[in-house]
Amino acid sequence: MANESLSKAKEAKNDEFYTQYHDIEKEVNAYLEYNPDVFRGKTVLLPCDDPEWSNFTKYFAQNFERFGLKKLISTSYAPESKRYKFGYVPTLFETEAPHFDADKSKTHGKIFVLDHDVTGDGKINVEDLEWQYLEGDGDFRSKEICHLRDQADFVITNPPFSLFREFLAWIVEADKQFLIIGNMNAITYKEVFPLIKDNKMWLGATGFVTDMVFGVPEGAIVKESDKKKAERLGYVGNYTRLGNSCWFTNIDHGRRHQPLPLMTMADNLKFSRHKELRGRDSYIHYDNYDAIEVPYTDAIPSDYEGVMGVPISFLDKYCPEQFVLLGITDRGNVWGLKTKEYSLDEAPNANDLNRRAAFVEIGGVSRRLTATYARLLIQKKICHGS
């Protein structure tokens, strides 16, 4: 038990999860398909990276000319500042450089810049990356990295999971275009949901149900079940799968403009593949929100014009031309959509009920209030003719 808690603590501290090349390529391709010139003439910053072997750096450097980039900058975090240290050894690439400094190697971050043909082979690619030690440790919050952020048009990375909220706020305050990896659960955070609601941020093009596998350093402690899942996906060794990982962005892509194909309410009640809906005469109406419960995204009725509570995973299919996002049942009543608060006298589970949407379950003569999972509150977009 003591060992298990220790592993959990170590696992929680680990921020070292390295993104796979093909996951980056698959995602970025969706933006290029939508707008082939999305990166043309732009500066891309890849912070919180490990440029010597990061796939983000490799991918953008390899595609520098194809994307028409103006400048690529990537920065790393000093080994001694990392939360979880794994017997750091500098790479040959670093130790063989004339400006290698054994002390700075541990205490300073590094900056890699690509903006012209250094080797003289007539191409600009990964071979032309030039590097230096940063003044500081490469913390994204430092003045030095903030200055780089301010020069950039795009900020793209898989940031430290433990600092996700802070990292997102750091990009948003500078009003940058971004593409970052996070955990789907972040959408319920009070700092995150308003951005999604106001269409200032959305999910990336790779569906969040797609398993993402990450490299981890030798000796990193990961959940055995996640390691096994990574193995089943063909990644054997220092890899782990992180469930619910997804891309967050404010760069447009085509997938978010594809409306969901849906059935009418009457057809759902007759033909839904979900047996709890089939044969009912209506959808359940919440007791504390003026909205109906839609337990599955594919059961959203196409012709219902009122408010609907849908699973969080709906976001993966959210098309802003089809639906309006009104709120979330997980965060009190910030959006003023709730119609009722329960007292403990009324229901022993009042705290749960008040946190979420609730409905009345009737079993024989008994009547019980039950809270749902967190639900997004959506409404069909009504197109008024001109």
Ligand X SMILES: C[S@@+](CC[C@H](N)C(=O)[O-])C[C@H]1O[C@@H](n2cnc3c(N)ncnc32)[C@H](O)[C@@H]1O
Residue numbers at the binding site for ligand X (CB under 6 A): 15-19, 48-50, 54-56, 77, 82, 138-140, 157-160, 163
Smaller CB separation from ligand X, 245 or 297? 245
> Rounded to whole angstroms, how far apart are CA atoms 104 and 288?
59
Q: Which residue is nearest to ligand X (CB)?
A: 158
Q: Which amino acid is at 212?
A: M
In the three-class reduction of DSSP (H, G, I as helix; E, B as strand; rest coil), residue 211 is classed as coil
| Minimum CB distance to ligand X, residue 121 (Å) | 27
> Rounded to whole angstroms, how far apart are CA atoms 284 and 307?
12
| Minimum CB distance to ligand X, residue 161 (Å) | 6
Four-CA torsion 9, 11, 15, 20, nearest 10 degrees: -170
Q: Which amino acid is at 53?
A: W
| Minimum CB distance to ligand X, residue 109 (Å) | 7
What is the radius of gyration, based on Cα positions, of the chain? 24
Smaller CB separation from ligand X, 208 or 314? 208
Smaller CB separation from ligand X, 31 or 289? 31
| Minimum CB distance to ligand X, residue 228 (Å) | 21
Where are the alpha helices (H) located in 193-254, listed in sequence order?
193-197, 224-232
| Minimum CB distance to ligand X, residue 341 (Å) | 40
Smaller CB separation from ligand X, 166 or 321? 166
Smaller CB separation from ligand X, 27 or 128? 27
Four-CA torsion 277, 366, 348, 293, nearest 10 degrees: 20
| Minimum CB distance to ligand X, residue 36 (Å) | 25
Smaller CB separation from ligand X, 16 or 128? 16
Q: Which two tokens stand for residue 120?
A: 């003289």
> Rounded to whole angstroms, how far apart are CA atoms 236 and 328?
39
Residue 156 sits at φ, ψ, to 5 deg, of: -135, 125
Q: Which amino acid is at 337?
A: L
Smaller CB separation from ligand X, 182 or 309? 182
Q: Which amino acid is at 118?
A: V
Residue 371 pairs with which residues in a beta bridge? 358
Smaller CB separation from ligand X, 48 or 171? 48
Contact 149, 45 (CB under 8 A): yes
Burial class (CB in 10 A: 0-12, 13-18, 19+), 241: buried
Q: Which two tokens stand for residue 246?
A: 């997804």
| Minimum CB distance to ligand X, residue 312 (Å) | 22
Contact 104, 164 (CB under 8 A): no
| Minimum CB distance to ligand X, residue 370 (Å) | 38
**Contacts of residue 364, Cβ cutoff 8 Å, sequence gap at least 6:** none
Among 284, 287, 313, 314, which residue's Cα sits nearest to residue 379?
Answer: 314
In the three-class reduction of DSSP (H, G, I as helix; E, B as strand; rest coil), residue 209 is classed as coil
| Minimum CB distance to ligand X, residue 239 (Å) | 12
Among 367, 373, 368, which residue's Cα sits nearest to residue 355?
Answer: 373
| Minimum CB distance to ligand X, residue 198 (Å) | 27
